[in-house]
Amino acid sequence: MNNRAEHGVSHFVMSRIRLLATDLDQTLLARNDEHHLYERFLTVLNELTASDNARWVIVTGRSIPSFNRVFAPMALTGITPDFVIAHHAFIYGVTKAGYVPHLLWNVTIRFILMRSRAYSRRLLKRSLRAIKTAFRNTRSLRVERDRLSVAFSTPESMSAAADVVRAIASPQMGLMVSENRTHLDIMSVPQTKGLALAELARHLKVEASDILAIGDGLNDISMLDGSPATMTGCPSNATSEVMKAVNATNGHIAKQPSLGGVIEAIQAFRSGTVSSTLPERRQSRRTQTEPLPQRRGRGDSQARTIKTAKEGLLFFVALATILLALAQYGLLGPFSRWVKLPFDSAINKLVQVLD
């Protein structure tokens, strides 16, 4: 889209879409039944593939097992993405045999996520201190490492506290702020979707000008700010912050919600009828959030500890595999021999046992 007009004005430049990136929950899949749109969406995807040889990636905060579960109804109709970005960051290719991780990137982004979470948690603590200092008669409903929920006596005081938190950190810095009546909810959410999308584009040799990214929530803003994708869009159920981001990048703000809005955005760019006009009644920044989960019992805590241990083990196995591969080709210089030594020793002992 080279000939951009002012915000809110329709653009009449047809675009080539070589990579389509869509969020999952409330963008691709809605709470309401949209099965009647699946066939139409499949037709649009086939047209993109035929005309532009386009690839499609679903960018979600869910894990792969969770993604498989919620995506199953759509998959049954023959709709399959080429890639999935899970946990906001980890890239997987989708094949008939299963999911193929982009190993080096997935190891690298894990360190970035660790650093990002640590920074977000510091901002969360600063936010809590600022709220307690500036506002009395508040009570913390839940204080966790990655989430904070505070109740206020009036909606006005809650809104004022939200402004204080937003002055400390923006969504791009990893904090999402949601307001619901007299409750303020602050969450630490990785803003790495844009990084992962940019890495996938680099791998596929696709320019940002040929990428269309579509999302609805604050955790999608990093791929809707015009950096990883110059074509952006959102469904009508998107938050006001997302609509503003799409408007700022001259993207398409759909009149249809969820999957209908995704189809509308794709067709708008393909036909050159993109409209960045914000709705007359923009969504309030008070966005409804799901209630905080109940406190976990001891059994859940143990399960979470086991899961963390497994993830740590997988991480070190992946790292060892990469180092060994580099050492086999002598790419670690003088350290190659030391990296290979334990592996060669284990192989020799195995051979002795088998003999």
At 174-224, the pLDDT tens digits run 788 888 888 998 888 778 999 999 999 999 999 999 999 999 998 999 999
Q: Is the pLDDT of residue 20 over 60?
A: yes
* Interior angle at CA 154, CA 151 and CA 178, nearest 5: 50
Q: What share of the chain is helix, strand, coil (3-state, %, to 5)?
A: 50, 15, 35
Q: Does the pLDDT at position 93 exceed 90? A: yes
| pLDDT tens for each residue of 293-342 | 333 443 444 444 445 545 555 666 666 667 666 666 566 677 767 766 77
91 CB-near residues (< 8 Å, 6+ apart):
83, 84, 85, 101, 102, 105, 106, 196, 199, 200, 203
Q: What pLDDT was estimated at residue 324?
A: 64
3-state DSSP assignment of residue 24: coil
Out of 5-19, 57-71, 115-129, 200-214, which region has the weakest mean confidence (pLDDT)? Answer: 5-19
Distance CA 119, CA 15 (A): 38
* H or E element, residue 328: helix 298-328
The b/e string for 203-217 (b: 16+ C-beta within 10 A; e otherwise) is: eeebebebbbbbbbb
**Two structure tokens written together for 115:** 């650093």
3-state SS assignment for residue 185: strand
- How are beta strands 211-214 and 183-188 bridged, if at all? unpaired
Q: What is the pTM of this model?
A: 0.73
* Residue 287 pLDDT > 50: no
pLDDT number for residue 36: 92
Q: Check residue 188 and give its pLDDT.
A: 82
Q: Is the dihedral of CA 24, 26, 31, 36 positive or negative?
A: negative
Read off the pLDDT band of 33 (50, 70, 90).
confident
Rg (CA), the chain: 23
Dist. CA 133–CA 122, nearest whole Å: 17
Share above pLDDT 90 across residues of the chain, in percent, rounded to a whole number? 51
Task: Report the distance separating Cα 227 and Cα 195, nearest Å.
Answer: 9
The percent of residues in the chain predicted with pLDDT above 70, rounded, is 76
Task: Give CA–CA dist 44/39, Å, rounded.
Answer: 9
**Mean per-residue pLDDT of the chain:** 82
β-pairing verdict for 211-214 and 19-23: parallel
What is residue 270's three-state secondary structure?
Answer: helix
Q: Which residue has the higher pLDDT, 35 or 8?
A: 35
Where is average pLDDT lowest: 115-129, 173-187, 208-222, 276-290?
276-290
Q: What are phi and psi of 150, to 5 degrees?
A: -125, 135
Please give the distance of CA 231 from its chain centroid, rounded to a whole number.
17
Report pLDDT for 115: 84
**How long is the chain?**
355
